[in-house]
Structure 1
Amino acid sequence: MQELYLMRHGETIFNKRQLVQGAVDSPLTKDGIAKAKRVGQFFQKQGVTFDHAYTSTQERASDTLEVVTKQPYTRLKGLKEWDFGLFEAQDERLLPKFNFKDPAEADFFVDYGGESAKQVMERVNQTISKIMAKPDHQRVLIVSHGAAILMFLAAWLPFEEIAKQITDMPNCCVLRFTYDNDRFTYQGLFDVDQSANN
């Protein structure tokens, strides 16, 4: 059975300023870099090594991966964050509170030049599925983005179940999945800061 470690990128300047960050990019903060280092140290301490590593083409994700591990990696556009159209770089409070299960609401950003929930889900799920179907991919690390990861989860879990199991998805958290017979099974979320406090 194969393992997928799906990590959210480290904190960025836009995260700290609570600005919408989808297709646009911003640099990692000092705290973001420090937490990514702690994740890398945790993997080393636990003896967790990866056959392959992947990241989205956005710098905040590839920069995070380079802090976590020094191994070679591949950048893929299919792992990029949701494109929020005209809402990019705007205050997060402008984002609508909507129900992703309602098709009309899930298409909200399309009218503003962005992607629909379905587009993001299909793009990310297809990309990750292709990665895990490759030979010699027994344990894989992927660094992606909050909304993109949520949409990947939604391809395999009902939103009601996601809401029960995940109350927060902080920067640098790692979601673990097993992959067997072309199916992903969610195993849990790890946050190195929470672990350190327990």
Structure 2
Amino acid sequence: MPNLILVRHGQSQWNLENRFTGWWDVDLTEKGEAEAKAAGELMAAKGMIPDVAFTSYQTRAIRTLHIALRAANLLWIPETKDWRLNERHYGGLTGLDKQETRDKHGDKQVHIWRRSFDTPPPLMDKGSEFDLSGDPRYAGIDVPMTESLKDTIERVLPYYESTIQPVLASGKTVIVSAHGNSLRALVKHLSGISDDEITGLEIPTGQPIVYPFENGQPSGERYYLSET
């Protein structure tokens, strides 16, 4: 029976610094690298062996995938990168310290920007130091200037349905190394979680989540691989 393995990237430098990251490309910390390695070792120990890998265009997710696969002696499996698995775009909040932003705008407003389903943060200014419109990896892509969770879901799900789900339906086990909000989009869809409830779902870094699949559809509840 195939499985879908979801892994949120290990701790990044801006996770550590408590800054809004979104589409900005930051690397893993030493702790993040250790989390990724542990995820790969756990997959190997549990016999949870992916046949195919998918990840975003962002270094922290790519490196998490590579470190985990190396630890599991699976670095050779086919891998596809796609921007639609990127983290949610945090717009004008990108790069800001989260606590300083709360102090300036208030806890309530920041909570709305971070956790509401369909209210995006303020737009990023064109030409901002964090504006990725000219980044070569996004050539030909209409790079957003902000995104709500709803916006993120609207790009992640069509990609999942067109590209990842058929691989699962073919009987292959798939690993997706991505981000808190792009994985929330998948969990919401696969577990049938409501708009209100999904905003409160926490996805820990470096902890493989498994969905058993049958005939291209989830056949059981999701579980953490560490709990089996």
What TM-score does the superposition give when structure 1 sets the normalisation length? 0.82
Is the Cα contact below 8 Å between 2:211 and 2:223 reproduced in 1? no
Deviations 1:91-138 (A, max 9, x none): 12337212635xxxx233264530132221121112222212136452
- Kindly indicate which of the two structures has a greater share of residues assigned to strand: 1
In 2, distance between residues paired with 1:186 and 1:127? 22
RMSD over aligned CA atoms reads 2.7
Task: Identify the residue that residue 97 of structure 1 maps to in structure 2.
Answer: 111
1:109 partner SS = coil
Larger radius of gyration: 2
**What is the number of residues matched between the two proteins?**
188
**Which blocks of at least 5 consecutive residues in structure 1 are unaligned?**
none
**Quick one: which amino acid aligns to residue 41 of structure 1?**
E
Map 1:41-120 to 2 at 5 A: 41-69=41-69, 70-72=75-77, 73-93=79-99, 94=101, 96-98=110-112, 100-101=116-117, 106-109=118-121, 111-112=123-124, 113-120=145-152
Is the Cα contact below 8 Å between 1:170 and 1:191 reproduced in 2? no
Task: Identify the residue that residue 170 of structure 1 maps to in structure 2.
Answer: 204
Which segment is superposed worse, 5-14 or 71-80?
A: 71-80
Is the Cα contact below 8 Å between 1:61 and 1:144 reproduced in 2? yes
Task: Identify the residue that residue 159 of structure 2 maps to in structure 1.
Answer: 127
Structure 2 CA distance for partners of 1:51 and 1:122, relative to 1, 3 Å: same
In 1, distance between residues paired with 2:44 and 2:183? 24
1:133 partner SS = helix
What TM-score does the superposition give when structure 2 sets the normalisation length? 0.72
Q: Once the 2 structures are TM-superposed, how far is the Cα of residue 190 of structure 1 from its aligned partner?
A: 2.1
Q: Once the 2 structures are TM-superposed, how far is the Cα of residue 35 of structure 1 from its aligned partner?
A: 1.4
Task: Identify the residue that residue 15 of structure 2 maps to in structure 1.
Answer: 15
Q: Once the 2 structures are TM-superposed, how far is the Cα of residue 185 of structure 1 from its aligned partner?
A: 6.3
Task: Identify the residue that residue 152 of structure 1 maps to in structure 2.
Answer: 186
Is the Cα contact below 8 Å between 1:53 and 1:142 reproduced in 2? yes
